[in-house]
Amino acid sequence: MAMKIVTNHHPRPLVHGYELTPEEKKEFDFLTTEELEEAEFFRYGQWTHYLGNFLRTEGFPGWDGFEADSAFTGTLVKLCDDGESVIVGRAMS
């Protein structure tokens, strides 16, 4: 069964770790302070996503990375040419 991809194709800005709120920073306590400050994130829905959690994928043509949310859903990212934003999609079976 093929996965359905839903996206509105709107670029979402990348956020550097030093720009995160204190509450958001707590979610990424597995990163050292230095790693957190240099890392890139984006906000999508009610969540802040760490770009480093996304795996390169060839299973979704036109998308650069995938992060599984469950066995049946995941988040896709496409890096924009400006280097400052991503397009986000939801993959679901």
- Predicted confidence (pLDDT) per residue in 49-78, tens digit: 999 999 998 889 999 999 998 889 999 999
Closest CA to 68 of 83, 80, 57: 57
Furthest-apart CA atoms within the chain: distance in Å: 42
- At 1 the pLDDT is 53
Residue with token string 């060839």 = 58
Q: Is the pTM of this model over 0.85?
A: yes
